[in-house]
Structure formats: C-alpha cells, structure tokens
Structure 1
Amino acid sequence: MLDKATAPAIHSDPATTDQPLSAVSDTPAVDLPDQPAADLVIREHDDRFRAAIEAVQGILWTNNAAGEMTGEQRGWASLTGQSYDEYQGYGWAKAVHPDDAQPTIEAWQVAVQERKPFIFEHRVRVKAGHWALFSIRAVPVLNDDGSIREWVGVHTNITERRQADLALQVSQAKLQAIVSTAPVAIGLFIGRDLIIELPNQTFIDVIGRGPDIAGKPLGEVMPELAHQPFLQILDEVYTSGQLFQAFESRLQITRDGGVIDRYYNITFTPLFNEAGAVYAILDVSVDVTEQVVARQALEVSEQRYRTLSEHLEQEVAERTRELQASIQDLERSNQSLQQFAYIASHDLQEPLRKIQSFSDMLRERYGNSLGDGIEYIDRMQQSAGRMSALIKDLLAYARISTRQEAASPVSLNQVVQTTLLDLELVIDETQALITLAPLPTIQGDASQLGQLFQNLLSNALKFRRKDALGHYIPPQIQLTAQRIPASDLPTTVKPVRQTPTYHRISVSDNGIGFDQRHTDRIFQVFQRLHNRTEFTGTGIGLAICQKVVTNHGGGITAFSQPGQGATFYIYFPE
C-alpha cells in the first residue's frame, strides 16, 4: 500500500476520509487550469466514490502494490477490532477463520502476481467476537505507466444472505423429498396439451407407464382417459382458472392388458403466471380405494345385518314368549315348592312334635318300670330330633333356592357380628378365639348372608381337633378380606356374575380338616365326611352356603388337609 508520504490514505468510511479519492479512481486524469477548479473536480470524484462504497455497503481497504496491508485502515479496524500494528502486512489474516486463512493468502498472492482482480469468500471474526461470512473483491489501481500503484478491495458481509440461501436450499430439498415420497399422487400439467412435469413416484406408480412420462401429454400417456371426464374437467380448469375438487372419483386405468377401477379424492389447482394467465395445473390425487371398497362392503354387510336383525327380532320375540311361559311355569313351581315348605314346616313337623311329646310322657310316667326299654325311648327321641333338624334344613335350602330378596348394601362386618352373638354360648363353651379383619360392604340379602356365615362359623366351632390326651383343642378362627382382580380367581371357581374385581372373604380354622379330594363333594346336599356318632349334622349346611354365594353372583371353594384345619374362600363380585 502507498504510504502517507507518497499517496493519500483510503479508508472504508468515505464520510470521514481526509484525503481525496482520486488517487484510486479509474477516471482519466483531468487537465486542471487552476486550483479551485481542481478542487471541484476532486470533490466530485470523491463524492462519486463515497456513493459507490455506500451502495455496496462494504468495508473498504487498501493494500500496497505487493499486496500487503499498510497504513491506517479504519474500516478493517472497525470490522475486526484489530489494532494498527496487528493488521499490518499479512497480520489481517489472523482475523480470518483458521480454515480459511491460508487458502485466502494463497489465492491473494496469485491474484497479486498475475495482476488480476481478486474475488473470494472467507469467514472473519468481527469485533463482536463471532464469525461472519464475507465476499471479497479487490482490483489493482494502475499508474500512468501501467504499473500497480495499490490494491483497493471491499469486504461485503454475506452471512445473512448465505444463511437464507442455505435455508432455502434445505427447504427446497425437504419439499422435494416430501413431494417425491408423498403417498399421494402429485404432478404438474403444463399448457392446454397438459404436458406432464415433475411427477412424483406415487404419480408414476398410479399411471403405471414407467418413469419416462415427464414431457409427454397426459392424453398420450393415458389414452383410456378419452372416454372419462377428466380431460374435459382439466380443460375447463385451464379456461376458467377455477379450482376443481371431487371426492371418491372413479378412475379406470389400463394396466397389464386389463382395466382396473381405483377411487381418488382429486384436486386440480390452476397456476398463474405474472400476467395472470393460467400456465399449468397442479394435480393432487389421494387414493381412497380401500376406504371406498370397505364402505361398499360395509353397506352390503349392513344390509345383511338389517335382514338378519329382522329375522333375529322375530326369533327374540318367539324366545321371549317361550321365556315368559317358562317364567310362569317356574313361578307355579316355586309356589308349589313354597306350599311344600309350608307343609314341611307345619304338617311334617307336627307328627314329630307328638312323637317327642309322647316319648317324654312315657319316660316320666313309666320310666322306672320300662327297665332297659328306656333306651328305645331315647333312640326314638334322637331320631325324631334328627328328622326335625333335617326338615328345618331342607326348608331353609328350599327357601334360599326359591326366594330372591331385593339386593341392598349389606355390611359383612355387621352380619358377622350378629352371627357371633347368636353363637356366643358355643364360643364360650369351646373357648374359641375368633379374629375378625375389616370386611367389605356388598350388594345382597342380609338374611341369606347371615345363614352363610352362621353355617361356616358353626362348622369351624364343631369340627374341633383333639390333642394327644384326647382333649379338644380350642378353635382358632380367622376371617379376612382382600380385593383381587378376576385374573387371580382359582380355575375351579366360576362366579355367576363376571366383573373385573372381586372381594375374597376367607374363613380359616385349626380343626380336623378334610382330604382335598372331597372339595366338590362337601357342597352337595346330604353329603357327609363323618358319621353321626362323631359329629352331628344333616349334610345340608355347606350346600346352603354354596346356594347363598351363587345367589349373590359369586363362587366358593375350600382348601384343607386332614389334621391341618380348613380355609373356605368366598368370592363376591365387586
């Protein structure tokens, strides 16, 4: 660069430049008659140069003939923040990105050596501390003899422009990728001849004529359209400039020597040039064949369903009449059974009461004279007592089987507490220990549920074990409750009512237990695992338990081993 002794300094800020700009102007020299006129010409050249720099919005700098930066460079200093000493010579390269510095120096040296304009791009660390991309253009300023006086260059910040270009390229690439891979057919029809341009892969697949359809008229590629409305519609869109849409349009396509039917939602959008005239039509077609075929199949199915429904309604009406007749028969049967229960509770019990009453009279009046005959009277009374208990249990079982009370919320805690009060004498006599955990409230019949727990607890108190000396072991009975999912039900339990969750109530004891093989048997009527001399009973109690649980939509089972006690599990639907 020229020093201040031989040439004026050129700065990037024309408004603050002290020296005239004619030293770097390409304007031919002017013969100036006097100093005022010369000053005027210089000012004109200076103003023109300032305007040029402002127009390009760049940073002006100068280098000497050898390509070195010398002298004061206000523009470069304000851009990079480098000091005077830092940018002298090739010091300016330290402000250039490390990846760009050496390529810039090498290209700059080639331009200086070949005396050619220098055009380049590189990144510069600006004064704010970040990297920015600049476009550089520098030209040599020649002396009258053709030698290079100095180089004048301009740095133009193109960061935002380049970022915008890159963003546009990325956006275009994404758009192209989306269009090319879109599952809908997209194509452009140019002019009235409908020349196919920019078809995506789906469009090509729909046509079925291979990938070389671009540049050909649509009617030539698909001659089967001649007898379909689409070419006429496209011509009307081209003429009117109005968008066209149609849904589930049937398109007949010739493929592999045959004609196939496909259905499309079609949109024909006119595209206009700067003059406002239509020059092309954008076709976007969505294949809805599967939906149309499915709907058509559904319509056929619905028609069959309506026919079947009508037939089914007739059958339901017939079954309803049959069911009503069955209900009436059942009601008559229940009435008969209730009448039987009444007879059993009155007419059958009456002879038994007389037998027991007369046997008592015989014992009182003639007991001393009967001798060993008194034993027969005892057996008679015992038999009459067993018969009376059997009739009462049968009556209870019949009533549970035929009478369904309206369900209402029942606290099982309260039911069990009432039952324990009824059994208080037996509990005291056996010295039983009963542990009761909180029980749920369920929908049911309090009376029937009372019978359920009465029988279970009575059995737990009755079937006691003996120790090695033959003494009865005090019963230990536990009642617990747990909420479980249906998936945790035992495979042997089949509740009447299916629900996602159940209340599991367990009644456990430390009694004599039983063989697990007899689990199903113990819930049958008149089934006993022990003879009457060991334990009293009719063999109906557990059958009543199962009937009560069934009436409440649940299930019941038991687990036991001989001498290890027993646990009864009851499952009530939640």
Structure 2
Amino acid sequence: MTRSSLRVCIADLPAPVVLLDADGNIEAESDRWRRTFRILVPGAPQDVSLFELIDDPDGAWHEALQRCIDESRVLQGKQRVMHFPEAGPRWVDWEMRPVPSDDDAETVTHAVLFTTDRTSERQTDRLRQQVEARFDTLLDTIQEGALLMDSDGIFRDCNDTVPEIFGRPRSEIIGSHFGDSKWTGLRPDGTPLANTEFPFWVAYYERKPVMGEVMGIYPPDAPPRWIRVNARPLFELDEEDPYGVFICFEDITNEQLKDEALQTSRDVLSSVLTSSLDGIVVYSAVRDTRGTIVDFECVLVNPQGEKLLKISAEEMVGTKLLELLPEHADQGLFDAYVNVVRTGEPYERELRLADTEGGTTWCQVMAVKIEDGIAVTFRDISERREAAQAMSVANEKLEQRNRALRDFAYIASHDLQEPLRKISAFSNLVVEDYGDKVDDTGKHYLDRMQDAAQRMSQLISDLLVYSRITTQARPFKPVDLNQIVANVLNDLSMRIEDVEGTVEVGDLATIEADSTQMRQLLQNLIGNALKFHRPDVPPRITVDTIMVDRDTLNGGPPVATSSNTLCRLRITDNGIGFEAKYVDRIFTPFQRLHGRGSYEGTGMGLAICRRIVERHGGSIGVESVPDEGSTFTVWLPAEHSSASNDTSTAPDEHDQFTTEKILDE
C-alpha cells in the first residue's frame, strides 16, 4: 500500500491513529486523533511534529519511533503517558508499526501509531485506590471493630480492632464465611443465636441498616465477648441487591458484665427484701413550695413490712405516711424521719409500733437517709421484750436467792459455829475436870467428839469461803504476786519448818485481781504441796510466772476474757502425785483421793481454787506423775475490762473481817 493510500485509510479509522515520519512529523491522522489529542493543543499548525504536541522529557517516544523504523519491528505498551503542556497527562495503550518506503519495500521510512485513551480508566483506578487508602486509614483510625462482608457472606477486610475483639488472628477472619462453625453467637439473654440471625446478615437479607443490636460471640477457648453492632448494606448505583455489608461494632463486654452484675445485685436485693425477717419500708420526702418536708410517700415495702403494718403493698405504695399511719406522728416518728433527712444521722428507737388496724407491736425502729428520703427497718422484738421481762423476773429471784445465800453464810459463820465452839469447850472441860474419872473408852469418845466438832467447824468455814468467792468478791486492782506469796510463806513458815521443805519463788508478775482471793489461791496450792509430800523426802516447791501474748498461743488456754496479755502461774512440787484419771475429780467439792487418816482436810481446797480462777476469767489445770510430783498451771488475764470488774455485792466491814479471819485461821 502506498503512503497516499495509507493516509486515506488512516483518516477513516475510528481509533486515534497517526502516520509519523522518522522525525516524528505527522503526515496523516484520524478524525478520532484530532478530537482526542490535537484538540488539547489549540492553534497547533496542520503540519506539526508529534513532539511539538507533547513533551517527551525522558525520550521514551523518540526511542520507540527510532527503534520501530530502524529495526522494522512492531512495538506496543500499556498506559504510557503523553504529556500535553497545557492539558496535562494522558495515558494510552499504544502500538507502533513500521511502514516501508514506496520505492523500496525493505526500507522503513515511516511508522503508524495506534492509541487507545486510557486516561479515564487510570483516573478511575487512581480514585479507587485513593478511596481504598482512605477507607483503610479510616478502618485503622476508628477504635471500633470494622468489618467488610461481601454478598456471599465472606469477610473480605477488617481493621486491627477486629482480631483483638474476636480473639482470632486476621488470617482466620479474612476469607471465612459468617456461617462457619467457628462463629458461635449469643443473644443478650444468653441463649444461642443462629448464624442467619447475625445482625450483618439480617442487614444484607432485609436490604436495610441494622443499628445497635447486641450479641455475644465466642473467641476460641474463652468466655464470650459482647458487641453492639451497626450493619449497613452497600449498593452499586442503580442496583437493588447489595454487593456487601459494612459492619461496625464496639466491645461492650465490660458494660454487659456490669449490667449482669447490676441485675444480679437487684435480684439479690429483691430476694433479701422478700426473705428478710425485718419489715423494710422506703419513703421519699414530700416537700411544699418552700422546700419544707410536709409528709413522706411510700415507694417500697417488703412482705414483712406488710405483715407488721397490717396493710398490703398495693395499698401502701404511693400513699402518704400521715394519711395512712397518723399514729406514727403521735409517736414522734415523723419528726424523727424529718431529722434523719435533714441531718443524715441515723435514728433508732424501741417502741410499740402502731399498725393500720389499731394494734401495736414491740419493734426496734431504725431509719437511715437514702437520697431525699429514708429507709426504715422495723424489727419485731416482742419475743425479746418478753424474754427480757422474764429474765428480769429471774434475776430478781436469783438476787433473792443470793441474799438468802449470804444470810446463810452469815448464819454459818456465826450461829452454826457457836454450838460447835460450846461442844468443843464442854468436851475440854470434861477432859480437864473429870478426866481421871473417865475410863479409856470414854476418853476415846471425847477425843472423837472433839475431832468431829473441829472438822465440822473447818467444813463450815470452807463452805463459807467457797460461797463468798462471787457473792462477797472485791473489785480487781493491781496485785503484786511477789507480795502475796511472801505473805503466804510467812503464814506457812511453821509448816515449812516442820516438813523441812523449801519454796523457791521467781520474779512474779503484777496483775489485776482480787488480792484476798489471790492469797487464798496461793495458800491452798502451796499448802497442798507441803501437805502431800512423800515420806522421808523433804518437799521442794517452785513458784514462777511468765507473761504471754495471747496471739502467740495455738488455740490458747480456755480463758474467758478479751485481755491480750495473759499471766501463766505455775506451782511445781516433788510430792506424792496422782494418776491422770483423777485430774477432773480433784477440783470437785468434797472430793478426796486419800482418807482422813492419811492427810487432813475437807476436800474443798482445790474446788475453792478453781472457783477463784474462774471468777477471774481464767483456767486451772494440773499435770501429775505418781511418786514424782505435780505441776499446777493457772492462766489469768493480766487486766480486766470494767464490765468484768463489776461485783454483785461489795463486801461490808463484817464480811471483810470474817473472810480475813477465816484465812488467818
């Protein structure tokens, strides 16, 4: 084909095509070329070079033209830029074909450039890339989880928050189907949620947004996470079916757990109110225009409150206090309630509470402020009041018996002792005045009579001491046990000499106690150690104390006191001892392990010791081995509270004199 024929053909082509010589001059062009590219250079002459229309800073188009002609080969490319100085860049798909000379078919002098304008497509792609970049930036910026699902229910993209909430790596999410078994959902009430009911699939199926739906979803091997979901279907222009769904959700697990905890708390509170044995009523304050409380309106009452006030909750809730129970104002409760709201100070009182039927019940009324109102608790104390009244009567009877016991003790110390003294005195006179006239049998009878009278007198004295341990006790005061033991040893000095015994005393403590009873306690324990010694073995006795912190004791001794510091008093001897089976028996009144012929006494000494120790809130115990000796351990509180220091009856001068006289005897 000659170039002239080629020019005619190019002019009729529907695509942008030009015929170029070796210098790039345009020798022919299609109408589409003129309308697509030449129009971008207004005023360009008819005979113009391609390189006058476009800039070719990198020489790419020059090189392509030169290679096409020199190498006689077809060249092509995708989206190469043609930069028009005034109109800007245009991107084209191109193909350049060599054209031989009219005179010599083997010589190439021209080239035909075929182009397809791809500028719009490139701009569209670039815009799409920009939109996608902005979308990705948006996904990464928002704190909520963002997820893109296509029309097939497959997750195509997500931000970094989604793996954190779902507890799965991104690779397990992207490409998975919402109906896969890994996606297990929950309704807000905790029941299973079918995958087809997931909010984002509902949005796709119903073709409309789903907003604010709450659902739970299980991460692998973890408790469910709760999310609030917004799902919006995505549509192409003029399309009725969405091509996907954009899902945005926030993690509300903590909020959901708080709501569940709050609901649980409400359920527990409701259960407590329902099952409470106390009546509970909540009132809100009713104020006038000046803000003064003029009444209270009931907002809640529990079943026990209904029972005590003899009215149903339906009748009481919403009703004014003064309309329903005007008697409460007469009892001073209304003014007390007002004061509770005004000051915030709780109120408590015991009274006969009036009900709606005109009856009354002994109640303990307690009121506390709640916002602009009060919560009132009514506790039925009728049984307690009756018990207190019965206890008061019993205490009065007990006091009467105590008085009778004190009277008996007085009689025992005086009236009963007097006949014994006369028996002893007259028997002595018989022996002195008529001894030579009485035979040996008569003298034996007189000796036994005198011995019996003496033992009876001692027994009465011991009973008197035993009874007065609590009835005629002295207040607890600081007592130096060193001084007490010194006095006891002075009293027992003759007995110690008689048995050739030794008593070693350590540095003893000072405690709060009844000094007279401490003297009695130590005199009995040391006296017993001297009495029950082995024949031909001089008694050796040690007395010591240590102060012990109660918290350091494992379980601690049975001490009925709140004192944190305890005194351990220990008396050890090398006497005859006894078997362990008699430990409890020896502290019982009138119990003896030996006959009167072996050892003197009435069997009251250790009983008195235990009574004294118990009165001081302490305990006494013993460890003993036959023929080796015994160790008595006494635990006493180092100090006493004011309540435990109270005595039922303070000793008068007569009682004090009698007790000291008995101890001296």
TM-score normalised by L of structure 2 = 0.45
Q: CA deviation at 1:433?
A: 1.2
Equivalence for 2:10? none
- Answering whether residue 200 of structure 2 is matched by residue 220 of structure 1, we say yes
Q: Is the 8 A contact 2:500 2:539 kept in 1?
A: yes
Give the match for residue 173 of structure 2: none
- Contact 2:488 2:523 (C-alpha < 8 Å) held by counterparts: yes
Q: Which has the higher contact order (CA 8 A, sep 6+)?
A: 1
CA RMSD of aligned residues (A): 4.3
Is residue 187 from structure 1 mapped to residue 149 from structure 2 by the alignment? no
| Alignment match, 1:448 | 517
Going from structure 1 to structure 2, the CA distance change for 1:519 and 1:329 (only over 3 Å counts) comes to same
Change (3 A) 1:407 1:285: same
> 1: CA distance between counterparts of 2:260 and 2:510?
53
Aligned to 2:453: 384
| Equivalent position to 1:436, from 487, 505, 512 | 505
Match of 2:490 among 414, 421, 425: 421
Q: Does 1:480 align with 2:544?
A: yes
CA offset digits 1:257-300 (Å, max 9, x no partner):
xxxxx99999x9xxxxxxxxxxx997665232563245335524
Change (3 A) 1:482 1:201: farther
CA distance in 1, matches of 2:624, 2:584: 12
Alpha-carbon separation, structure 2, partners of 1:296 and 1:499:
43
Partner of 2:278: 307
How do 1:18-37 and structure 2 match up within 5 A? none
8 Å contact from structure 1 (residues 189, 283) kept in 2: no
Tell me how far apart the structure 2 counterparts of residues 518 and 465 of structure 1 sit (CA, whole Å).
19
> What corresponds to 1:524 in structure 2?
588
> Residue in 2 aligned with 1:288?
258
Q: How does 1:296-375 map to 2 (within 5 A)?
A: 296-300=266-270, 302-303=272-273, 304-305=275-276, 307=278, 311=379, 313-372=381-440, 373-375=442-444
Question: Of 524, 528, 532, which aligns to 1:463?
Answer: 532
2:569 equivalent to 1:505: yes
CA positional deviation for 1:305: 4.5
Conserved? CA contact 1:187–1:284, under 8 Å: no
Matches of residues 33-432 of structure 1 in structure 2 within 5 Å? 187-188=144-145, 197-199=159-161, 203-204=165-166, 220=200, 231=211, 253=215, 285-286=253-254, 287-289=257-259, 291-300=261-270, 302-303=272-273, 304-305=275-276, 307=278, 311=379, 313-372=381-440, 373-432=442-501
**1:537 maps to what in 2?**
601
Deviations 1:174-211 (A, max 9, x none): xxxxx9xxxxxx734699xxx98544567448xx9966
Q: Are the equivalent residues in 1 in contact too, given 2:539–2:574 (CA < 8 A)?
A: yes
Partner amino acid, structure 2, of 1:343: I
C-alpha distance in structure 1 between counterparts of 2:410 and 2:386, whole Å: 36
Q: Deviations over 1:491-511 (max 9, x none)?
A: 996433466664321111111
- Cα deviation, residue 318, structure 1: 3.2
Distance 1:327 1:411, change over 3 A: farther
Distance in 1, matches of 2:596 and 2:402, equals 32
- Please say which of residues 559-568 and 540-549 is displaced more in the overlay: 559-568
Q: Distance in 1 between matches of 2:567 and 2:488?
A: 20
Report the secondary structure of 2:457's partner residue: helix
| Cα distance in 2 between the residues matched to 1:202 and 1:426 | 92
TM-fit CA distance, 1:544: 0.4
Show CA shifts across 1:155-180 (max 9, x none).
Answer: xxxxxxxxxxxxxxxxxxxxxxxx9x
The separation in 2 between residues aligned to 1:212 and 1:265, in whole angstroms, is 13
Structure 2 gap ranges (5+): 1-139, 149-156, 168-177, 186-196, 219-223, 231-247, 280-376, 639-665
Corresponding position of 2:658: none
Q: Secondary structure at the match of 1:288?
A: helix
1:16 alignment partner in structure 2: none
Cα separation, partners in 2 of 1:499 and 1:424, compared to 1, 3 Å: same
What do residues 409-438 of structure 1 show as CA deviations (whole Å, max 9, x unaligned)? 333223222222222222233332111122
Distance 1:501 1:418 in 2: 26
Give the whole-Å Cα distance in 1 for the aligned partners of 2:629 and 2:266: 66
Contact 1:188–1:281 (CA under 8 A) maintained in structure 2? yes
SS of equivalent residue, structure 1 residue 338: helix
Judged with a 3 Å threshold, the aligned counterparts in structure 2 of structure 1 residues 524 and 202 are, in CA distance, closer, same or farther, namely farther
Higher helix proportion (structure 1 or 2): 1
Are the aligned partners of 1:187 and 1:198 in contact in 2 as well (CA < 8 Å)? no
- Whichever residue aligns with residue 531 of structure 2, its letter is K
Distance 1:404 1:201 in 2: 80
- Give the Cα–Cα distance (whole angstroms) in 2 for the partners of residues 265 and 399 of structure 1: 79
Q: CA deviation at 1:570?
A: 1.0
Aligned residues: 340
What CA distance in whole angstroms lies between the structure 1 residues aligned with 2:556 and 2:593?
A: 21
Asked whether the 8 Å contact 2:215–2:226 carries over to 1, the reply is no
| Identity rate, percent | 35
Q: CA deviation at 1:571?
A: 1.5
How many angstroms apart in 1 are the aligned matches of 2:589 and 2:633? 19
Q: Structure 1 residue 515: deviation in Å?
A: 1.5
1:565 deviation in Å?
Answer: 1.2
2 CA distance for matches of 1:466 and 1:200? 96
Following superposition, the deviation at residue 563 of structure 1 comes to: 1.2
TM-score (structure 1 length as normaliser): 0.51
| Pairwise CA distance, 1:519 | 0.7
SS in 2 for 1:481: strand
Deviation string 1:417-476 (CA, Å, 9 cap, x unpaired) is: 222222222223333211112233333222222211111011011112113xxxxx3211
| d(CA) in 1 for partners of 2:588, 2:272 | 49
Give the partner amino acid of 1:393: D
1:546 — aligned with what? Answer: 610
Amino acid at match of 1:391: I
Structure showing greater Rg: 2
* CA shift for structure 1 position 528: 0.5
1:558-573 equivalences under 5 Å are: 558-573=622-637
Letter of the 2:595 partner, please give it: N
- CA 1:487–1:518 in 2, change beyond 3 Å: closer, same or farther? farther
Deviation at 1:383, TM superposition (A): 0.8
Partners of 2:383 and 2:502 in 1: how far apart? 59
Quick one: distance in 2 between partners of 1:526 and 1:353? 23
Alpha-carbon distance in structure 1 between the residues aligned to 2:574 and 2:249: 90
Gaps of 5+ in 1: 1-178, 180-185, 233-250, 257-261, 269-279, 468-472
Query: What secondary structure sits across from 2:601 in the alignment?
Result: coil
